[in-house]
Amino acid sequence: MPGGSDPLTPLAWQPVPGAAGAFIWPLIRKIDIISSNSYLIATPDVLILIDPGGLPEQADQLARVIGECRRERDRPVFVFLTHAHIDHFIGALSGPAFASPETAVFAVQERGSQALECGDTKLTQADILGRTLPPMKIGLDLFPGTWGAGKNIPVQVAYPNGATVTITYTWSGTDGELPHGRLEFGNSPPLEIYHTPGHSPDSICLGMGDLLFIGDILFAANPGVAGLSGWDQKALVHSLGHVLTLLDEGGITTVLPGHGRAVTAPDAGRMLSAVRTGAQELSDIAELNRGRAEQAAAFAEDCMEEVNELFTIMAGRLYYVSYVLDELGESDIARRMESVIPGDTVDELLEAFSAFADEHHRGRGLSIQLALKAAQVIGKLDRSFRREELTRIIDPTLVDRAGRLLSDYTQLLRGFNPPGELSACSLVTVIEAIVTGLSVPSCSDEDLLSSADDDAAFIRILLARIGARPLLEDIAFTLDADGQSLQVSVDREIFSDLVTYILEDLVGTGSDRITIAIRKEGAYAVVIISGAVPADAVPEQEKTRRFLHGLAGRAGGTMKYTEDGGMRRYLIHLDLLAGGA
């Protein structure tokens, strides 16, 4: 979020700008998925609580402040939910303060109201967060199905808490307009409500004076949020357009999200525009339910093992380049190298994830939390390294694979099926290309000599010579194709990654003699990658094997792993194309 001073002071009463006689007490939390912000508004006629949050202690704190207000002047209490996700309300179910319509009337858009009254664990996200949900009584359905008939006709409703509310829906029913209603409590400033589905079908924004409460639409296109049960891309894009129009019309100075700090209206406009751009690209994503959260969490752990290794190797390579340059008296360039990947930041991010995953395994965490933590770490890692510059210094295969790993995880969490672009190709040709890329230095002696008269070119090529060390340069390598010219169906990029990971594992484990054999077995082409490893080498870790199996599947094949008498073998089966042998 943009910097600058907060437009509102947390945990303190302050006037609601543009709404004479109304005061707001904001409870603004650090962003997480457990509980939302809460906003309490006091007017002479009513106490309005927007989103009591997901934590009992938060609800208790709010109940205490409400109690103080009522002791000063007794007023009815209404609890509005920006939407019925449990992190916005479930804390209120633990105590008596919000337990009955006599103490507090809940007001929720009709779809959310229905979900709460029948204890729907999917729409409320209780299921994905591993919570149960008792049915709730909702006193005030907002935007009910019948309201179109009463357009511009004020309706007065009396409630068991003693309140009388005048409700006027002013939407004309045309597609280009934001569905809008106005709630009046006596002579106090009115509360405006806007139906803004997309993040959930029941999402609403609320306005009082110059303030606009927007629930979670700022986060609705984020990985791990987009695709939640009830999420609707088209509706979201539509609603974001409406809210942007509302901001453009002026009058709103401060926007209060469901999570995180309040922002000024211009900042909110910029952020919501970016969300809309992101949301427009999210067609056809799968629902993010409990099963997919578990799948994402499992992939996150396997993926993070590899991410950890790749980033440590990349950072190590840069330190190595820096070391050699220092030896050559090029200290300035040496220092510059260390900023291409901020090693300390990367270490801290990876260690934070590792600690989080350990906690998760001790049984205190939920899959969605682990999946979202991975998404957060991966997002930060992705922004942390200067990919283009790095590609010019160290092996591009390392950098590209790291980039693809980060992107694959985000794609999976978003619900896109990871792309498997199978195409027909000659297996020998593909493997020769991979092996050549891992055997030949990226810059030849000739390149280095020809750059001698150009300082910038010389430094560039020198860096690449030091930083890019062909994986197979000191390995006795054999490609045994047995005269086969097999046509297979494979995703070349993913297959190349798979073979490279395997070769890296073999070289890293101490294998100095590696063979890739290609054989035909019935309807399959089989690629056998084998290497002798030291007697004390530990077998490939389960997580690594699972990761490689996943890659093999996405490449269009299957993989088997065997280890016998110090010989490690990876067998990759690929579909042979008819007539391709």
Residues within the interface to other proteins (CB under 8 A): 309, 311-313, 315-317, 319-320, 322-323, 326, 341, 343-344, 346-348, 350-351, 469, 471, 504-505, 507-510, 534, 536-538
Q: How far apart (Å, rounded) are the C-alpha atoms in residues 416 and 226?
A: 11
In this structure, what token pair is assigned to residue 60?
């208790």
**Nearer to other proteins (CB atom), residue 158 or residue 538:** 538
Joined together, the tokens standing for residue 552 give 């093999």
In angstroms, what is the minimal distance from the CB of 353 to other proteins?
A: 12
- The residue (of 258 and 467) whose beta carbon lies closer to other proteins is 467
Q: What is residue 225's three-state secondary structure?
A: coil
Of 388 and 536, nearer to other proteins (C-beta) is 536
Q: What is the distance between the alpha carbons of residues 325 and 356, in angstroms, rounded to a whole number?
A: 37
CA dist 78 to 50, 160, 428, Å?
A: 8, 11, 71
- Identity of the residue, 309 or 389, whose beta carbon is nearer to other proteins in the bound complex: 309
Residue with Cβ nearer other proteins (331 or 429): 331
CB of 307 to other proteins, least distance (A): 13
Q: How far is the CB of 527 from other proteins (least distance, A)?
A: 22
Give the residue with the Cβ less far from other proteins, 166 or 384: 384
Which one, of 235, 229, 325, 217, lies nearest residue 275 by Cα?
217
Q: Which is nearer to other proteins, 166 or 312 (CB)?
A: 312
Whole-angstrom CA distances from 295 to 5, 367, 377 are: 40, 8, 18
* Minimum CB distance to other proteins, residue 487 (Å): 33
Q: Residue 442 phi/psi, 5° resolution? A: -70, -20
Rounded to whole angstroms, what are the CA distances from 112 to 121, 230, 354? Answer: 11, 10, 37
Residue closer to other proteins (CB basis): 241 or 396: 396
Smallest distance, Å, CB 293 to other proteins? Answer: 28
Distances (CA, A) of 478 to 57, 79, 316, 530, 574: 66, 72, 29, 10, 20
**Rounded to the nearest whole angstrom, what is the least distance from the CB of residue 509 to other proteins in the complex?**
5
CB of 400 to other proteins, least distance (A): 15
Helix H, strand E, coil C: the string for 231-242 is CCHHHHHHHHHH
**Collapsing DSSP states into helix, strand and coil, what is residue 547?**
helix
Q: What is the DSSP letter of 454?
A: -
Nearer to other proteins, 212 or 337 (CB): 337
Q: Which is nearer to other proteins, 77 or 341 (CB)?
A: 341
CB nearer to other proteins: pick between 262 and 318? 318
Contact 188, 200 (CB under 8 A): no
Q: Where are the beta strands (DSSP E) in 128-232?
A: 140-142, 155-158, 164-169, 180-185, 191-195, 204-208, 211-215
Cβ at position 506, least distance to other proteins in Å: 10
Residue (of 88, 133, 139) closest to 110 by Cα position: 139
Closer to other proteins at the Cβ: 12 or 476?
476
Alpha-carbon distance of 314 to 402, in angstroms, equals 9
Min CB(549)–other proteins separation in Å: 20
What is the CA angle 290-291-297, rounded to 5? 85
Q: At its nearest, how many Å lie between other proteins and the CB of residue 440?
A: 17
Cβ partners under 8 Å of residue 477, min gap 6: 435, 439, 514, 515, 516
Closest by CA position to 278, among listed 128, 414, 85, 420: 414
The distance of closest approach from Cβ of residue 96 to other proteins in the complex, given in angstroms and rounded to an integer, is 45
| Closest distance of CB 32 from other proteins, Å | 23
As a whole number of Å, the end-to-end CA separation of the chain is 57
